[in-house]
A = this chain, B = another copy of it.
């Protein structure tokens, strides 16, 4: 598509940071009804900068769903195969949400604010409606709401230095996937050591949208000598890091076993959850396909508009590429996709059908090596 103006009306929710973050964005999308910048200089320049410095990201699109009340924990448990029985206030956990057939509804991070109050920090689908529907239908004693909270993300190797200038608490005390409640310039914030990059960083959750621009400006000023720049989730970095994107790498048609999310939960958790029977059946009978990493040398490949078909020797079953991009650091294309489960070994050769021809690639390990070099 060429570059049309994005029509802004009330229907697209206003980010508290957009007066700052939209300036300079050369590409954008809409995510959870909020505009999300997707590139500033270019994908590659943004990528190198993110690896070397620190960026400020408007991720207001990472909308929160609040669950509070006597049944809040029981409902949170009901949404996911992940065991939440030991979660404590100040803790975050990655929780794939599944439906009755074990299809992935969304893959939020849950924040435990109190034993009876949680936020789901969601990817791109209206989880509010899913959780409300289940709660109303099944009679959970909870209030499910949109708390009007908006994240701002600081990502990159200098994010720790930057944050240490902004808060009084020792930053090193904020462990990975933990958060504290603190203030920056008098603005109350939840600050978590989380974020959608492989370079480390923090997410700052603001509850007062009217303070968004002042928060942004305060952070930018504190990072002036750190080469701080506006940025956004970067396609190259997130694929290299192996971060799955809901809607791209998994949808409601996929289950968390085939999507490779098994490290985030153990089968047989004590609490009741939706989709347990379906998930146990999948474990028992095995998945038809499995998510793998892919490497393709040669010319840069565009991220697919839909999926690209994958063909493999010795089987009529096809796979598909769900995300792919050129990595200027690894000097090859790095991607993700599904292949038949019995053809998922690292090093396996495959052919990918692009719109304009066939290319060959290999299944790669976590380090993007294919065992061939």
Contacts and interface: CB of A to CB of B under 8 A. Distances in A.
A329 interface: no
A39 interface: yes
A247 interface: yes
A25 B4 contact: yes
B10 A28 contact: no
A74 interface: no
Nearest to A97: B129
A91 to B, nearest CB: 26
A29 B7 contact: yes
A22 B1 contact: yes
Most chain B CB atoms below 10 A, which of A10, A14, A134: A10
Contact of A29 (B30, B131, B132, B133): B30
A306 interface: yes
Contacts of A18: 1
A27 B10 contact: no
Interface stretch (A52-60, A120-128, A176-184, A309-317): A120-128
A70 interface: no
Interface string A6-35: 111111101000100010011111110101
Contacts of A305: 8-10, 14
B126 A125 contact: yes
A248 interface: yes
A12 B305 CA distance: 8
Given A2-B25, A9-B303, A99-B136, 15 more contacts: A1-B18, A1-B28, A3-B5, A3-B6, A7-B27, A7-B39, A8-B305, A10-B322, A11-B247, A130-B130, A130-B133, A133-B136, A134-B137, A135-B137, A136-B137
